[in-house]
Copies of this chain bind each other. A is one copy, B any other.
Amino acid sequence: MTMAGEDEILEWIAGRQKTSKVVKVAAGDDLAVLEWPEGERLVLVGADQVLDGVHFRCSEISDWSVIGRKAMNRNLSDCAAMACMPVAAVVTVALPKGATVEQVKALYEGLEAAGAKYYCPVVGGDTGVWAGPLAVTVAIMGRATGSKPVLRSGALSGDGIYVTGPLGGSILGRHLTFEPRVHEGRLLAASRLPTAMMDVSDGLLKDLGRMLKASGGLGAVIEADKVPVHADAVRLAGQDGVDALRHALSDGEDHELLFTSTARPPVGIRIGKVTAGGGVILKYEDGREEPAAASGWEHRLG
């Protein structure tokens, strides 16, 4: 690092990483050491990054805790989508040369606060300064704890299709402030009802297409009037002239859970039904049907 206050910030970060019942060794060694509960053998793991100009714009964000929260919450949302309990995260940060100690602390506090809400401490990682823009990677670990991970490949023909909340227009700000559906994921796992589950990160139709493909090439009928349209989608429609429903179907970064279930689940809004094939059909209230074109979100900021 070449940043002013480098040693201060690295010590500050290390000082915040503490041991706990699960975390046997935190900051300051080559790796962190976690102890899994007795009898639990599944370790879920993934990593996701947020990049300046793609997932946020540094130039428009004065408080970097927002960036830290988004980075952590995207990973917590992956835990939610697998119906697992977050356990711990490791974080790498590539800092632009002009970053201030205050910005770095805010970033880290954002990561930490988002994780703490779901008992997911940051236990290690790496921070460095470079000539590039801000990049933050979070790798997260979770445990299954009493229920099997819910994959995206288990949907069955005839299952209902559900989402946990309204969709669309996240670009107006919600993409930075969404709440990962960790509790909903655990509740659903406890009910043992979901046959397939994932989070909506690239748009409902695009992600549904992936789920149906992973489940062996199934189809779906989506009832257009049942799709919960977020107020942001309506607001965005007023700005860009695109139909609010289209925003709900195609916008990314909602991070609601999308799942299928044979019986009525404890949470979720039913939006349609899995079919044996025939692609994804949009069905309107007046009986009209049309194939749903999946134009998903792709790094809209970029």
Contact = CB atoms under 8 A, between A and B. Distances in A.
Interface stretch (A86-94, A158-166, A169-177, A271-279): A86-94
Taking chain A's interface residues, is the majority helix, strand, or loop, or is none over half, making it mixed? strand
Contacts of A199: 30
Interface in A1-60: 1-2, 24-25, 28-38, 41-49, 51-54
A151 interface: yes
A126 interface: yes
A125 B49 CA distance: 9
A28 B214 contact: yes
A125 B46 contact: yes
Given A299-B1, A299-B2, A47 B124 contact: yes
A149 B23 CA distance: 13
Interface string A145-159: 000010111000000
Contacts of A42: 24, 33-36
Interface string A184-207: 000000000000001100000000
Given A25-B149, A130-B133, A302 B45 contact: no
Nearest to A79: B31
Nearest to A131: B53
Contacts of A36: 36, 41-43
A227 interface: no
Contacts of A24: 42
Interface string A249-271: 00000000000000000000000
Nearest to A139: B139
Nearest to A127: B49
Contacts of A214: 28-29
Contacts of A52: 130, 132
Given A34-B44, A43-B43, A1 B128 contact: no
A31 B137 contact: no
A33 B149 contact: yes
Interface of A: 1-2, 24-25, 28-38, 41-49, 51-54, 78-79, 81-82, 84, 88, 90-92, 94, 123-126, 128-133, 135, 137, 139-142, 149, 151-153, 198-199, 214, 298-299, 302
Q: What are the 10 closest A-B residue pairs judged by CB atoms, nearest first?
A: A139-B139, A30-B81, A31-B46, A47-B90, A137-B137, A132-B132, A49-B92, A30-B78, A31-B44, A34-B43
